[in-house]
Amino acid sequence: MLNKDHIEAEGKIALTNERTCIGCGYCVEVCPYGAIELEEKRVLGIEKKVASVNAALCKGCGGCAASCRSNSIDLAGFTNQDLVSAFEQLMWEEDDIIGCCGV
């Protein structure tokens, strides 16, 4: 999952919890692969915008999960703590502290 200067996870994709997604679009903005878009869906009888992940484009980098303000996106096979630990490790391995995902 971790490489010296970037994070890449093969075989993992982001999954959205449509019930808790608030449709804010932060995940769409931070996805470097263009794998997420907001779609109108009927969830629990209510029409709302929710994040929808294109599995063919998603690389499992975790940027969307890290940026999700409602904690509605997870990567299959990783806990939120796994992702936080991976990003922290990457940040502290560099000589300078780097920003993550533009957030």
pLDDT digits (tens, 9 = 90+) for 77-87: 766 677 677 77
> Is residue 4 a part of any domain in this protein?
no
Q: How far is CA 74 from CA 4, 42, 63, in A?
A: 23, 21, 10
In-domain check, residue 8: no
Q: Considering the domain boundaries, does residue 49 fall inside one?
A: yes
Which residue segment(s) compose the domain that 69 sits in?
Answer: 14-93
Q: What CATH number did the domain enclosing 68 receive?
A: 3.30.70.20
**What is the C-alpha separation between 84 and 45, in angstroms, rounded?**
34
Decide if 9 is inside a domain: no
pLDDT digits (tens, 9 = 90+) for 2-33: 455 555 545 678 999 999 999 999 999 999 99
Instruction: For residue 94, name the pLDDT band (cuts at 50, 70, 90).
Output: low
pTM above 0.95, yes or no: no
Q: How many CB atoms lie within 10 A of CB 67?
A: 20
| Number of compact structural domains in the chain | 1
Contact status, residue 85 vs residue 14, Cβ threshold 8 Å: no
Q: Show the DSSP H helices in 1-103 as ranges.
A: 26-30, 63-67, 80-93
